[in-house]
Amino acid sequence: MGATITEKILAAHCEGQDVTPGAYVMAKVDFCLGNDITAPIAIEQFEKSGFEEVFDRSRIALVPDHFTPNKDIKTATLCKQLRRFARKHDIEHYWEVGRVGIEHALLPEQGLVGPGDLVVGADSHTCTYGALGAVSTGVGSTDLAACFATGEVWLRSPESMKFTFRGRLPRWVGGKDLILYTIGRIGVDGALYRAMEFCGPVIETLSMDGRLTMCNMAIEAGGMSGIVPPDEVTRDYCEGRLKREARYLRSDEDAKYVETYDWDVSELSPQVAAPFLPSNAAPVEEFKGVEIDQVVIGSCTNGRISDLREAARILEGRTAAPSVRVIVLPATRRIYRQALDEGLIATFIEAEAAVSTPTCGPCLGGHMGVLAAGERALTTTNRNFRGRMGHQTSEVYLCGPAVAAASAVTGRITHPDELEG
């Protein structure tokens, strides 16, 4: 019996241990990370346990991205803990305000994670890096503390699911729509602690930005990880960028999957997920006329340059509806600068949007876009749970950047073809 790409990567990090689905293993990690919410807890546990040195200062990232810049004394204190720990242990990958980006866009951009890697992070969306052909998953802060010290993590080898996408993507449909459609079909627990492997002709033509978006939201289906088998798109992205040697692996043809899905998405409409679950996904046409108060374009899901280009294409020469607040969040400093050089930032400002330094900000109801009671947001972020972006009676709808931009102009959920038909 052949092996899946996930099983092959785990086996390479487990020194001969059994990695069949359900087996528990101690695995050596290639990279680990924490942010300004989760890393302080890991740091406290690391120090309480008496550890004096980290396992490898070049394989740890500390990313103060959730409350960047700090919004109050509490968040400033959390970031101070990261700063102190980074200086004490000479951590190579720590970024200050003005240099930092959103972790799940920043680390791939910096070449710190890549094909064949095993990556763990104290953030549920660590599954993003599976787009590069890595096994990447979120862990608890105590697990991260142990990883800081030992470079190892305790995991259960997951079952794998295979998702094959065929056909040709329609206009305005991208990675965000594919993953919302997938979650809508299988539910928020449809891939519970499983590896979601995305493949097929559509995935092969999907940009790395689109793949990162898809794997980012594997956790929203309950997945332990999402993964895309490496190909020429992966090689082109990693060439001259990756700091380590890439290990390009693929699943065997006779690999075993617990479930398989095969979809032709040639007629797929842009997707919108209604409150209060990402699985409440349906074609944008079904939400026509739903009025909104706020639009957010950005986050670790859709704050990359292709997302900003798509939004700017629709906003060019237009302004936001008077009733709508528009917030644009480039995911990294490099993306921000590129958007500036391409004139995208000017387009957003002329459309009367607020453009922010890279931050998770409103995605988690942290700051810079928190919703009041009864307000409704349409956002390119990844979660729409009750109270996620603010008040418990507020509502969050999820979508891709094209739908977000079109809706910002009209003040209601809108198919981009209404403006760009």
Give this prediction's pTM.
0.96
Is-contact 52 149, C-beta < 8 A?
no
pLDDT at 404 over 70: yes
Parse the chain into domains and list their residue ranges.
Answer: 5-262, 272-420
Quick one: angle between helices 333-341 and 305-315, nearest 10? 40
Pairing of strands 118-121, 159-166: unpaired
Q: What is the pLDDT of residues 319-371, one digit of tens each?
A: 999 999 999 999 999 999 999 999 999 999 999 999 999 999 898 888 899 99
Residue 119 has pLDDT above 90, yes or no: yes
Q: List the one residue out of 129, 113, 347 whose CA is nearest residue 226.
A: 129
* Cα 154 to Cα 5, 35, 140, 371, distances in angstroms: 19, 20, 11, 38
Percent of the chain with pLDDT strictly greater than 90: 95
What is the DSSP pairing of strand 294-298 with strand 376-379? parallel
* Residue type present at position 139: V
Class of domain 272-420: alpha beta
Q: Give the full edge-to-edge strand order of the sheet including 159-166.
A: 225-227, 194-199, 159-166, 259-264
Q: 270-293 pLDDT, tens per residue?
A: 999 999 999 999 999 999 999 999
pLDDT of residue 421: 67
CATH of region 5-262: 3.30.499.10
The span from the CA of 13 to the CA of 117, in Å, is 9
Identical topology for domains 5-262 and 272-420: yes
pLDDT digits (tens, 9 = 90+) for 94-107: 999 999 999 999 99
Residues contacting 241, CB < 8 A, separation 6+? 109, 111
